[in-house]
A = this chain, B = another copy of it.
Amino acid sequence: MADKKMVEAITSMDEDFAQWYTDVVRKAELIDYTSVKGCMVIKPAGYAIWELIQSQLDSRFKETGVENVYLPMFIPESLLQKEKDHVEGFAPEVAWVTHGGLNPLTERLCVRPTSETLFCDFYKNDIHSYRDLPKVYNQWCSVVRWEKETRPFLRSREFLWQEGHTAHATAEDAQERTIQMLNLYAEFCENVLAIPVIKGQKTDKEKFAGAVATYTIEALMHDGKALQSGTSHNFGDGFAKAFDIQFTDKDNKLKHVHQTSWGMTTRLIGAIIMVHGDNEGLVLPPKVAPVQVNIIPIMQKKEGVLDKAYELRDRLSNFRVKVDDSDKSPGWKFAEAEMRGHCIRVEIGPKDIEANKCVICRRDTREKIEVSLDELESKVAEILDTMQKEMLERARAHREDHTYVAKNMEEFEKLFTEKSGFVKAMWCGDQACEDTIKENLSVTSRCMPFEQEQIADTCVCCGKPAKKMVYWGRAY
């Protein structure tokens, strides 16, 4: 009965996806709410996922020459105001520090919502010659944006992220780094998080405040809504001119640098939940699962069972492994392991020991596999590997099944009324059409994908000649 209660406590995802999400986030003990409105506690099970994301992303960064730094969390108001578009984009949603200790400050400081202005202020003094370029710096930190409505991982007033900020001698170098990082993000999402993404460029309406061009990776959640999962911006020399970041080039001329920035955040954890989760709870790709193997002893009071469980744990020390030796019933342990997204559970009881075998159950398919103890290590490795691959394939199939094509407004409206997912449709390039679509259907342009298709000749909205195929969707 207790086992059932735990499972029943989650809302079904088909019934109420938003409530299902909140239930999973709480029941899998990923986060907790706090007395600080709009801010959350990331609990051990949630933070461990972030640590696995961090370490695998960071090592990819370093392979491309990224160096980590740390800049202050405060931005003086005058500094924030130096780049016009940037301050307009961010000033309305920052938190302001007005007092230090017992005294009012002579100038307000905002808590960084992003650090372009700080990096510019730093680069201005740090860059003199072409020999100092490129600068390819990144920081792992928290940022604050005073959001009105918040949701765990997806939108909170404070969140964790990495922000890369680079400076280059030429426009070409900056563009190359912008795309390099977008490709790195896409590869990471697919190969580590098992989330397939669409790579493309944001429209001018949707681009970052102060950027020349913003590139994005867009993922499709299980409910058919889109999630922007990472962005990479090319700033051209706009910030460099506003902040006067110049260097002496090989030809002995003073030139402005060209800059980029790129970021990924803890919202990736939200994406993992919404792409892979099911009605039993969290499903985690093995590469970011804090517990890959949960060994659950059956009839653990019988002599030799617990010892065998510990022996198996020691043999599986190449994996993230635990033994659930608590005094709960096996059924309860199974339900809990499923809720928390442990990738595979290994059941081992007296009969298994006698037969020199164990039963392995995969979290994603719930398939049960009998495995001889003689080949435990290799089978576990193989199953985790298969699971990682199949989770990506299933997510890709789901996205394909929920990606539609609309040639005109009638088809477009019908799709967004009856279906949920991505809709590919042509666009004239005019912001008025984006505005109309957003107003009428609450649908936004997700990106102009790198892989363009000629779906029709005319804009889905106004009927004028089309310039680009766009992925449209309702987004988190």
Residues of A with Cβ closer than 8 Å to B? 32, 34-36, 39-44, 47-48, 50-51, 67-76, 79, 92-102, 109, 111, 118, 121-122, 125-126, 137, 141-142, 144, 146, 157-158, 160
Q: Which residues of B contact A35 (CB under 8 A)?
A: 76, 79, 121
The one of B98, B99, B126 that contacts A32, using a Cβ cutoff of 8 Å: B126
**Contact present for B72 and A36 (CB under 8 Å):** yes
Report whether B73 and A34 are in contact in the complex, using a CB–CB cutoff of 8 Å: no
CB-based nearest B residue for A70: B42
B41 and A122 contact, CB distance less than 8 A: yes
Partner of A39, one of B43, B72, B157: B72
CA distance A398 to B51 in the complex (A): 39
Whether A109 pairs with B34 at a CB distance below 8 angstroms is: no
Which residues of the other chain, B, contact A126 by a CB distance below 8 angstroms?
A: 32
Contact of A44 among B99, B125, B137 (CB under 8 A): B137
Q: Are A158 and B72 in contact (CB under 8 A)?
A: yes
Would you mind naming 30 contact pairs between A and B with Cβ atoms under 8 Å apart?
A34-B71, A35-B76, A36-B75, A36-B76, A39-B72, A39-B73, A39-B74, A41-B72, A44-B69, A47-B67, A47-B69, A47-B70, A48-B67, A51-B68, A73-B111, A73-B158, A74-B95, A74-B158, A93-B101, A94-B101, A95-B97, A95-B99, A95-B109, A96-B98, A96-B100, A97-B97, A98-B99, A100-B146, A101-B146, A111-B111
Asked whether B92 lies within 8 Å of A102 as measured between CB atoms, the reply is yes
Which interface residue of A32, A40, A47, A126 has the most chain B CB atoms within 10 A? A47
Residue of chain B at shortest CB distance from A126: B32
Among the interface residues A42, A70, A79, A102, which one has the most CB atoms of the partner chain B within 10 A?
A: A70
User: Are A125 and B32 in contact, CB atoms less than 8 angstroms apart?
Assistant: yes
**A217 to B218 CA separation, bound complex (whole angstroms):** 50
- Bound form: Cα–Cα A365–B70 in Å: 32
Chain B residue numbers with a CB within 8 Å of A44 are 67-69, 137
Given known A95-B100, A99-B98, A111-B111, contact A71–B142 (CB-CB < 8 A): no
| B92 contacts A101, C-beta separation under 8 Å | yes
Q: Chain B residues with Cβ under 8 A from A109's Cβ?
A: 36, 95
